[in-house]
Structure formats: structure tokens, C-alpha cells
Amino acid sequence: MEEMVNFVQFLLNSEEIISKGGLILVTLIVFAETGLFFCFFLPGDYLLFTAGMFCGLGLVKVPILLLIFCLAAAAIAGNYTGYFFGKYLGDSLMNRKENFFFKRKYITNTEKVFTKYGGNALVIGRFLPIIRTFAPILAGIIKMKPAKFALYNISGAILWVLTLCLLGYFLGMRFPGILNYVEYIILAFILLTSVAVINSFIKLRRENKEGVSNP
């Protein structure tokens, strides 16, 4: 049990992931978080930011363009995995028993985002934890056309990776001392993304209530 706890703590520590696992492990984690429903808890946003920052600081001996290419490819492939899973196995997912790795509300909340934003939910959802993992699955469940899914999937992945990796990269190059504040930056990322998710759900719930009261 202790080994499992230590492993989970390692997965949630972006500094250790990057320093010990390198580009390969970072790429695999981005793929898993964006494509496998039971990996929704992995640190996608701040892992991209920290990887870019470590690259800018020279702590990761990988060219920034190679880093961006690998992570964008992983994000695209991950979403395709989720899409095909939802398309062919979505019914079994919806009927499965709830546990820590799957709660029906994840699909329900993601569906509300789709109702509000349509296909753009795949782009917007890239910046929202949990939604990022379940959006491509829901796209498969509702049988979104492959060409339309490809457009939103690829554009969303590139925007997500470019934004966070380049932000970390240029901050790392410009302010080397930022390394001493990584923990605070990651905490800020968690708070910001959590607030964004909660705020989105509150707005959607309010809109749904107004729609019911004003048919």
C-alpha cells in the first residue's frame, strides 16, 4: 500500500517526473491523461509548463521544438484513443460501477460543456482538468464526425502545448531564479484550473436552471 502511495505521489510531482523520467515519461503521461479515463488525475497542465521551464533553464537536454512536437503528438494521439474508446465502448463505460477512477458526473459535466460550446469544447477542455480527459470520450459517444474531431483535436492540442510549454520556456530563460518557486507556481496552476472548472460548472448549472424555469 505504501508503495502505491509513493507511486501516486511521484506521478503528481512534475519535477520528479521530468528529472527522473525525461522526455519519454513526460510524453507517456500526457498521452495517458488525455486518452485514458482512469488517468484523469495526472498533472497535465503544470507538467507541460514545468517541462518547458526546465528546457529553458537547460535542466532538460532536449530542444524546445522537439519537446513541443512530442507532447503535441502525445496529446493528439491520446484524444484519438479516447475518441475511439467512446465510439466503440462508450455504452460499457456509462454502465460500469462508479469508483475513484470513474464517476458518471464526469461524463455529465463534460456533456454540459459540449452543449454550451459544441466542438470547441475539445479546444477549451484542453485547459480544464477532468474535462480534458473525458471530452474526447464523449465526442466518440455522440459519434462526432472524424473530420470535425480531427480539426478540434489537432488545433486544441497544438494550442495547449504551445501555450504552456512556451510560457514555461521563456520564463525559465528570462528568470533563472524561478526554479526556487516551482512549488508555488504549480500550486497556482492547481488553484487556477480548479477555479476555472468550478466556475464553468456553476455557470452551466445556473443556465440549465434558467432554461427549466423559462421554457
Span of 13-27, 79-93, 113-127 with lowest mean pLDDT: 13-27
Quote the CA–CA distance of 164 and 63 in Å, as a whole number: 16
Q: Taking residues 50-75, report their average pLDDT.
A: 90
Report the pLDDT value the prediction gives residue 131, as an integer from 0 to 100: 82
At residue 31 the predicted structure's pLDDT band, cuts being 50, 70 and 90, is very high
- Which of the residue ranges 20-24, 101-105, 110-114, 119-123 has the most confident prediction, judged by mean pLDDT? 119-123
H or E stretch at 150: helix 146-174
Span of 41-45, 75-79, 206-210 with lowest mean pLDDT: 206-210
Reply yes or no on whether the pLDDT at 4 is more than 50: no
The pTM is what? 0.77
The cell numbers describing 54, all together, are: 526546465
- Burial class of 108 by CB neighbour count within 10 A (0 to 12, 13 to 18, 19+): exposed
Reply yes or no on whether the pLDDT at 101 is more than 70: no
Report the pLDDT value the prediction gives residue 100, as an integer from 0 to 100: 60
The cell numbers describing 125, all together, are: 477542455
Of the two residues 204 and 38, the one the predictor is more confident about is: 38
Reply yes or no on whether the pLDDT at 169 is more than 80: yes
**Residue type for 102, please?**
F
Is 135:83 a contact under the CB 8 Å cutoff? no
At residue 141 the predicted structure's pLDDT band, cuts being 50, 70 and 90, is confident
At residue 68 the predicted structure's pLDDT band, cuts being 50, 70 and 90, is very high
- Between the alpha carbon of residue 149 and those of residues 82, 83, 111, 135, 139, the distances in Å are 11, 8, 15, 11, 8
The cell numbers describing 186, all together, are: 504549480
What DSSP string runs through 65-128?
HHHHHHHHHHHHHHHHHHHHHHHHHHHHHHHSPPBTTB-HHHHHHHHHHHHHHGGGHHHHGGGS
At residue 15 the predicted structure's pLDDT band, cuts being 50, 70 and 90, is low
CB-side neighbour CA atoms (13 Å) of 64: 21
Averaged pLDDT score across all residues of the chain = 79
Report the pLDDT value the prediction gives residue 10, as an integer from 0 to 100: 47
Instruction: Residue 82: name the closest of 38, 31, 137 by CA.
Output: 137
Per domain, the residue ranges of the chain are 2-205
The cell numbers describing 188, all together, are: 497556482
What percent of the chain clears pLDDT 70, i.e. is strictly above it?
75
- Between the alpha carbon of residue 49 and those of residues 14, 68, 71, 171, 198, the distances in Å are 9, 11, 11, 10, 22
Chain-centroid distance of CA 50 in Å reads: 14
Is 41:7 a contact under the CB 8 Å cutoff? no
What is residue 62's DSSP assignment?
S
